Amino acid sequence: MAQFRPTSPHLSVYRFTLTMTLSILHRVLGIGLYLGTVLFALWLGAAALGQDQLSAVQGFFGHPIIQIGLFLYTWTLFHHMAGGLKHFVWDTGAGFDAASREAITLATLVFSIVATVLVWAVFVWF
């Protein structure tokens, strides 16, 4: 009797790496970009309609849960931008060895976190 073997690699074959994890996270965060863009459009529409509408939306955005969402939206924007730059480097054919791949992936994560904290520190917190 022949032993059953999968026809394609299974998750148990691979060791999860930072590159794989952030690739999956990148796709999930794409959904978050859609939701955040709706909030951004709401803010722009309120700004176009007048001060009363803008004040109402600003009050809504001032809620702590919405502030956390906006912070994560900012991080998602920077993460996607850094991911695009990472893929631009990969499109040149560079950075495909394991060490370089992990290093550039870690750099995109660090950049997105630092850029988010800097933007919020300069434009929101202070």
Residue 80 · residue 26 · CB < 8 Å: yes
For residue 98, what pLDDT band results from cuts at 50, 70 and 90? confident
- pLDDT for residue 41: 96
- Write out pLDDT tens, residues 21-68: 888 888 899 888 998 999 999 999 999 999 999 999 999 999 999 999
* Annotated binding-site residue? 10: no
**Closest C-alpha to 77, from 35, 124, 106:** 35
Q: 63: domain range?
A: 18-125
Residues 6+ apart with CB under 8 A from 57: 42, 43, 46
HSE of 110, CA atoms in CB hemisphere, 13 A: 6
* CATH number reported for the structural domain that contains residue 65 in this entry: 1.20.1300.10
**Total number of domains in the chain:** 1
Residues 6+ apart with CB under 8 A from 7: none
**Any domain includes 112:** yes
d(CA 57, CA 85): 33
